[in-house]
Amino acid sequence: MSLKPYKQPVSALVVIYTARLDVLLLERAAHPAFWQSVTGSREGDEALIDTAHREVGEETGIDTRQHQLSDWQLTNTYEIFPEWRHRYAPGVVTNTEHVFGLCLRDKQVIRTAPDEHRDWCWLPWQEAAERCFSASNREAILMLPNRHVRPA
């Protein structure tokens, strides 16, 4: 039996949205009513943009190579919820989150990872921001009208 390595306290948050500013939210499997954008920790020494690509694929089934993934050059540092600290090395209490945006032409049907998410929905950006449990996720969505990249 091998032990799973600790998660790195460095993550990517990817706000997935359409040209009409509808935002994809995912409901956490272990925490019903906790809605969020795609998020996940960096693995190994991968570049943060690669973390964003990987997490979107794992959590939604969306192939990011078919769309525009942009680095918003925005980072947030926040305290890790006590109930999730066991995933990190002893003494690690904060995470640094790097924000990305992924613009799709239209809403897509999502294939979630059942061990991570139980449901998904597309909402207008203001409603999506209101539904997020994470303050940094909410703030990123509220920036969307000034940050979005129109699909090519």
Report if residue 48 sits inside a domain.
yes
pLDDT the model gives residue 152: 56
Report if residue 62 sits inside a domain.
yes
Residue 134 maps to which CATH number? 3.90.79.10
The CA-based dihedral angle spanning residues 36, 39, 40, 46, taken in that order and rounded to the nearest 10 degrees: 180
Report if residue 152 sits inside a domain.
no
Helices within 32-99 (DSSP H only): 48-60
121: burial class by Cβ within 10 Å (0-12, 13-18, 19+)? middle
Report if residue 4 sits inside a domain.
no
List the structure tokens of 60.
């939604």
What is the model's pTM? Answer: 0.93
pLDDT the model gives residue 51: 98
pLDDT the model gives residue 84: 86
Residues 6+ apart with CB under 8 A from 103: 17, 18, 19, 67, 68, 70, 148, 149, 150, 151
pLDDT the model gives residue 151: 59
pLDDT the model gives residue 22: 97
> Domains in the chain: how many in total?
1
Report if residue 2 sits inside a domain.
no
List the structure tokens of 147.
């940050």
pLDDT the model gives residue 136: 94
Report if residue 1 sits inside a domain.
no
Report if residue 105 sits inside a domain.
yes
Report if residue 32 sits inside a domain.
yes
Q: Which range marks the domain in which residue 70 is found?
A: 10-147
pLDDT the model gives residue 3: 65
Mean pLDDT by 10 residues, the chain (152 residues): 80 96 95 94 96 97 93 95 91 97 95 92 98 95 85 58
